[in-house]
Amino acid sequence: MGEPTLAAHIRAGAAAHDGCPLVFAATDGERATTLGRLVTDAERAAGGLQARGIGRGDVVAVQLPGSYEGAVIQAAVSLCGAVLLPVVMIYGPREMDFVLRRSGAAAVVLPREHRGRPHADVVLRGLSGLPALKFAVVVGDSDPGYGAVGYAGLLAGPGGTYREPRADPCDRAVLMYTSGTTAEPKGVQHSHRTLLAEATSRVYTLNGPGTRHLGLFPSGHMAGLLSLLRILLLGTPTVIMQTWDAALAARLVDRHAVTSCGGAPVQLSGLLDQQAAGIATLGPLREFLTGAAPVPPSLVRRADAAGITAFRSYGSSEHPTVSAGAIADPLGLRAGTDGRLLAGNEVRLVDAAGRDVPDGHAGEILTRGPELFTGYTDPALNAASFLPGGWFRTGDVGRVDAAGHLTVTDRLKDIIIRGGENISSKEVEDLLITHPAVADVAVIPVPDPALGERVCAVVVTQPGFTFDVGQARDHFAAAGAARQKTPEVVVLVNELPRTPSGKVRKDVLRSARKAEPDG
């Protein structure tokens, strides 16, 4: 299939599956196309990027929804041999400034509007002092200002003809910022080799004739990027949703005879709710791979009762799919475990000292394998995240049964997973503490039946002050932070429980919240 780089594989995939049908769906309509047409436009866009100086190793940040133009631009960046930096749409000017500054992005691609708001104008107006940034591209505007070029102008190109670059499979191909235990997002780096190992694993290649996939994961997520690679490399007929809408997703399953789907638990439950409400039958849907957030066993059982074989998977931006169930697994395994390891992957379970735990015991999950990322952009994070032998510390806790099934039971990371989005507790805390009413704060997750978890702020106020959800919302909006990070539950306390060394006892706070109604 040519040299093992994304550009070579994308072009070979288009040649082999030129007529593969694709549909890009939004609430205001659908756009039908083929893989061949998409890659032809991607080559035109790549020629426009190359003519503006983008080449091997340059970082291009792409913040676009799951639209046709978004797929074209992401493919175009890979065709250039550049480093694709997908960015989730929830990021506002505050987060975009951080991402562009830390990554040294040479270009950024933005939508003119998103959900009725002037997205590109707000982001570009707030950028300053970014010497590495050569230009911006705005989709949906022929004359965007700020020295930016419109999408149509990029495809027309200033005399640019696409040239496939010389690249090495070990070159950095993707840079993705993900929230974790630290206040600042971490720069996760993948090579052509690691991405291709993931994109050609059994998770993506088991579908037989007649398969039609529904792409639900957002384009700025690792899972969203891998869904796109599945299309580009393997020619899987797919319906891609621009933004999540449960009613629309359910109707798309029926209208396009969707047989296979992957998404977060909130999306599976949303589809089942629509089926129960009579919005759609979901009759064609045979299987649903779910992950990206804790999966209640009851959800897999509910799907099974509705005629959909759901199974769990486990992974992260760093190691996209460590394990996954299979459609042939019995219900008990699909509901109660995260499946078997993918080929080539390895897992160790260790205690706090890094020693292997006895068989059958839970421990921190260490992983390694062909899909494992090449490291963070921050060397200090690498030193803390890898043990000798290349073992990656996931920060999650789990166990492996005698038959080799992995089950994730807990996590050491201080993050909140809201609808599949990782939200750093410390990042939220650092912003809350700047409010004049807040003297001390700890942020924890609280369970939510639809989203998995929500953000809860446990707050000690300054004397004479009070603090509530409305004040938190206003404070985060003024700071330009993503709305999803805004606390949805605020609990006022006189003091935070702490260890003798001064560390907040978040285990105590979590236990208290589980026993109390939302405040």
Here the tokens at position 332 are 């008990």
Q: What is the pLDDT of residue 292?
A: 79
Q: State the alpha helices, DSSP H only, in 243-389.
A: 246-255, 265-276, 297-305, 331-336, 379-385
Query: Using an 8 Å Cβ cutoff, are 365 and 398 in contact?
Result: yes
Q: What is the pLDDT of residue 114?
A: 87
Region of poorest pLDDT, from 26-40, 179-193, 313-327, 451-465: 179-193
Query: Using an 8 Å Cβ cutoff, are 410 and 396 in contact?
Result: yes
Q: Given pLDDT bands bounded at 50, 70 and 90, which one contains residue 207?
A: low
How does the average pLDDT of the chain come out, rounded? 90
Q: What is the mean pLDDT of residues 392-419?
A: 88
Q: Which residue matches tokens 């579908």?
A: 207
The share of the chain scoring above pLDDT 90, in percent, equals 68
Question: What are the two backbone dihedrals, phi and then psi, of residue 39, each rounded to the nearest 5 degrees?
Answer: -70, -30
Every domain of the chain and the residues it spans:
6-192, 287-411, 415-514
Q: State the alpha helices, DSSP H only, in 235-325.
A: 246-255, 265-276, 297-305
Here the tokens at position 372 are 């494992």
Question: pLDDT at residue 158 above 70?
Answer: no
The share of the chain scoring above pLDDT 70, in percent, equals 95
Here the tokens at position 2 are 């040519």
Q: What is the mean pLDDT of residues 439-453?
A: 89
Q: What is the pLDDT of residue 205?
A: 60
Question: pLDDT at residue 2 above 60?
Answer: no
Q: Which residue matches tokens 């020295």?
A: 147
Give the Å distances, CA to CA, from 372 to 21, 120, 375.
31, 33, 9
The answer to whether 6-192 and 287-411 have equal CATH topology is no
- Relative orientation angle of helices 68-79 and 222-234, to the nearest 10 degrees: 80
CA 347 to CA 369: how far, in whole Å? Answer: 9
Q: What is the mean pLDDT of residues 454-467?
A: 94
Fold of 287-411: Luciferase; domain 3 (2.30.38)
Question: pLDDT at residue 182 above 70?
Answer: no
Q: Name which CATH class applies to 415-514.
A: alpha beta
Q: State the alpha helices, DSSP H only, in 131-264.
A: 151-156, 192-199, 202-205, 222-234, 246-255
Query: Using an 8 Å Cβ cutoff, are 226 and 199 in contact?
Result: yes
Question: pLDDT at residue 293 above 80?
Answer: no
Q: What is the pLDDT of residue 156?
A: 81
C-alpha angle 62-64-69 in degrees, rounded to nearest 5: 100
Q: Which of 254, 265, 179 lies closest to 216 in space, CA to CA?
A: 265
Q: Which of 270, 264, 309, 269 lies closest to 286 in space, CA to CA?
A: 309
Q: Given pLDDT bands bounded at 50, 70 and 90, which one contains residue 422?
A: confident
Q: What is the mean pLDDT of residues 428-445?
A: 91
Q: What is the pLDDT of residue 160?
A: 63
With 0-12 / 13-18 / 19 or more C-beta atoms within 10 angstroms meaning exposed / middle / buried, residue 363 is buried
Give the Å distances, CA to CA, from 268 to 246, 287, 373, 383, 422.
9, 11, 28, 37, 18
pLDDT tens-digit readout, 37-77? 999 999 999 999 999 999 999 999 999 999 999 999 999 99
CA 284 to CA 338: how far, in whole Å? Answer: 25
Tell me if residue 422 falls in helix, strand or coil.
Answer: strand
Beta strands 260-263; 287-290: pairing state:
parallel
CA 40 to CA 197: how far, in whole Å? Answer: 25
Here the tokens at position 117 are 């708001």
Query: Using an 8 Å Cβ cutoff, are 435 and 464 in contact?
Result: no
Q: What is the pLDDT of residue 410?
A: 77
CA 161 to CA 87: how far, in whole Å? Answer: 27
Share of the chain residues as helix, strand and coil, in percent rounded to the nearest 5? 30, 25, 40
Tell me if residue 358 falls in helix, strand or coil.
Answer: coil
Tell me if residue 130 falls in helix, strand or coil.
Answer: coil
Q: Given pLDDT bands bounded at 50, 70 and 90, which one contains residue 181?
A: very low
Sign for the pseudo-dihedral over CA of 282, 287, 290, 296? positive
Bigger pLDDT: 500 or 52? 52
Q: What is the pLDDT of residue 208?
A: 67
pLDDT tens-digit readout, 119-154? 898 888 878 788 899 999 999 988 888 889 999 999
CA 408 to CA 254: how far, in whole Å? Answer: 33
Q: Which residue type sits at 341?
A: L
Query: Using an 8 Å Cβ cutoff, are 42 and 22 in contact?
Result: no
Tell me if residue 195 falls in helix, strand or coil.
Answer: helix
CATH among 3.40.50.12780, 3.40.50.740, 3.20.190.10, 1.10.569.10 for 6-192: 3.40.50.12780
